[in-house]
Amino acid sequence: MTITTGQTDGDRTAPKASDTVERFEDARRVEALMRLRQGTFLLLPPLTLALAVNLRIFGDSLPIRALALIGMLGLAAGTHVVVGQRFAGRRAIPIAIAFVIGLGMLLLGVMFELPGGRDVHVGTLSALMMGAAIVIPWGVWPQLVVAAMLALAYGFVPTESMGVAHSVDLVMSLADCVALSTVGAYVLDRQRRQAFREREEARRMTAQREILLDASRQLNGSLDLEETVATITFNRPDALNALSQQVTRDRIGSEEREKVQQIRRRRAAFLFRTDRHRRITTAQAGAL
């Protein structure tokens, strides 16, 4: 007979940090897919309207802007279809990265023929970076990669010649956009992790409370304390662990605490007698 001690079961039932991180990553991927699907769907009406207005007013005088709007409309529709597929579950973050980078590149095509100077362009690009950091829960590194690539791509957009001071100011503005969006993604990711840990702890405490209530019903419904000890020892070691933790935290009364201590002493004695009987039986079997 193999006796399972309460300490071993307590270690098994305790939440592991790696399991919590893995569950958080799964929850983040699901949230990213949901937000990406909602965002691409909400982009379809304004992009369609912008394309219609552009063709109605400007005709074919701004071909690059029209092509960019068509590409943005197709990208949003295609991404909306892709995120609904089964294979997208484990690839939520790469899909989101590809969508935002593609959207940013097409937005550069729109800005190429957009009236206004570099300041207007940088403001539009920074809005895209900050919006991605807020909407998509992908953490620091994806945000840094996306923001850096968009800033680098904007540097290759052809424009009129600029002076040295204006060029330095542009580089500093783009660097500020990348840094601020990355810091924002970091802060939001920390808050999401903290909220997830608190929810996990609340679920664990609720499950432990249910175990305590179940153990309490067993204690109150049994007249044979020895039988109760054996039942909890073999069938519900998690209940004894939960009771011991409650005793340690001093969250139960003195009468219940004494009852738990008595159960622990009876349990130790029961395990000692069982182990002794097993050794004697094994020795007798060996002698025969």
Q: Would you write out the chain's pLDDT as a tens digit for each of its 288 residues?
A: 333 434 444 444 445 667 888 889 899 999 999 999 999 999 999 999 999 998 888 877 778 888 999 999 999 999 999 998 888 888 999 999 999 999 999 998 888 776 666 777 888 888 999 999 999 999 899 999 999 999 998 888 776 667 777 888 888 989 999 999 999 999 999 999 999 989 888 888 888 788 777 766 666 665 455 555 556 555 555 555 655 555 555 455 566 666 667 767 776 776 777 777 677 777 766 665
146 and 27 in a common domain: yes
Q: Give a yes or no: residue 1 inside a domain.
A: no
- Note whether 111 and 156 are within 8 A (CB): no
- Note whether 260 and 243 are within 8 A (CB): yes
Full domain range(s) for residue 58? 16-196
Task: Categorise residue 250: left if φ over 0, alpha if ψ from -120 to 50, beta otherwise.
Answer: left
256 and 182 in a common domain: no
Q: How many domains does the chain have?
A: 2
133 and 38 in a common domain: yes
48 and 166 in a common domain: yes
210 and 177 in a common domain: no
Q: What is the pTM of this model?
A: 0.69
Last residue of a domain, one of 196, 226, 259: 196
Q: Give a yes or no: residue 97 inside a domain.
A: yes
94 and 233 in a common domain: no
173 and 270 in a common domain: no
